[in-house]
Amino acid sequence: MPISHATLDVLSDDRGTVFEPLACEEIGHQKNVHVVTSGPGVVRGNHYHVKGTETIVVMGPVLVRFREGGADRDVAVPENQVYRFVFPPKVPHAIKNTSDKTNMLVAFNTEPHDPDRPDTVRDVLI
C-alpha cells in the first residue's frame, strides 16, 4: 500500500475552521484515535507501526517527513491548510511543528493502543 496524502477541504469563518478528517467509509476501520498537541519546534512520531495503518491529519504550518522506497521525503504543509496522510505499516514518519504557536494533529490507527505491547518502533527522521 503506497503512502498517500491529500489536502482536505476547510470551511473557515470568524469563529475558526471545520474539516472532516476521515470519510464515512474509513471510520469503521479505525481502532484508535488520539489528539496530539505540540509546542513550537516539537517533533512527534519518529517511528513506524509494525501492523497498524496510521492516518494523521495536520493543520499547517508543519513539516511531515516519511521514508518511501528507501528515501526520505518532506511535505511542508502551508499555514492554515489541512492535509491527511495515510502511512501503511513499516513506513517511518515524523511531524515537526514549524510555527511559533502550539499546533494540533489528529491520528487514527487500525490497531488498538496497547501500552504494554506497543505497535511502534522508533526510527528517527527529524
What is the pTM (predicted TM-score) of this model?
A: 0.92
pLDDT grade for 79, boundaries at 50, 70 and 90: very high
**What's the confidence (pLDDT) of residue 2?**
79
From residue 96, alpha-carbon distances to 13, 24, 46, 64, 69 in Å are 26, 28, 10, 7, 21
**What's the confidence (pLDDT) of residue 62?**
98
**DSSP three-state, residue 59:** strand
List, for residues 16-60, the tens digit of each pLDDT value: 989 999 988 999 999 999 999 999 999 999 999 999 999 999 999
Strand intervals (E) in the chain: 4-7, 11-13, 16-18, 32-38, 43-49, 54-59, 62-68, 71-77, 82-87, 93-97, 103-109, 120-122
Domain locations in the chain as residue ranges: 4-122
Please report, as a single letter, which amino acid is at residue 82: V
Beta-carbon contacts of 115 under 8 Å, excluding residues fewer than 6 positions away, are: none
Would you say 106 and 84 are in contact if contact means Cβ atoms under 8 Å apart?
A: no
**What's the confidence (pLDDT) of residue 21?**
94
Would you say 125 and 72 are in contact if contact means Cβ atoms under 8 Å apart?
A: yes
Homologous superfamily (CATH) for 4-122: Jelly Rolls (2.60.120.10)
Q: Is the pLDDT of residue 3 over 90?
A: no
Select the more confidently predicted residue: 76 or 24.
Answer: 76
Q: How far apart are CA 20 and CA 8, in angstroms?
A: 8
List, for residues 57-74, the tens digit of each pLDDT value: 999 999 999 999 999 999
**What's the confidence (pLDDT) of residue 72?**
97
Q: Is the pLDDT of residue 1 over 80?
A: no
Please report, as a single letter, which amino acid is at residue 49: H
Q: How far apart are CA 121 and CA 26, in angstroms?
A: 25
**What's the confidence (pLDDT) of residue 126?**
97
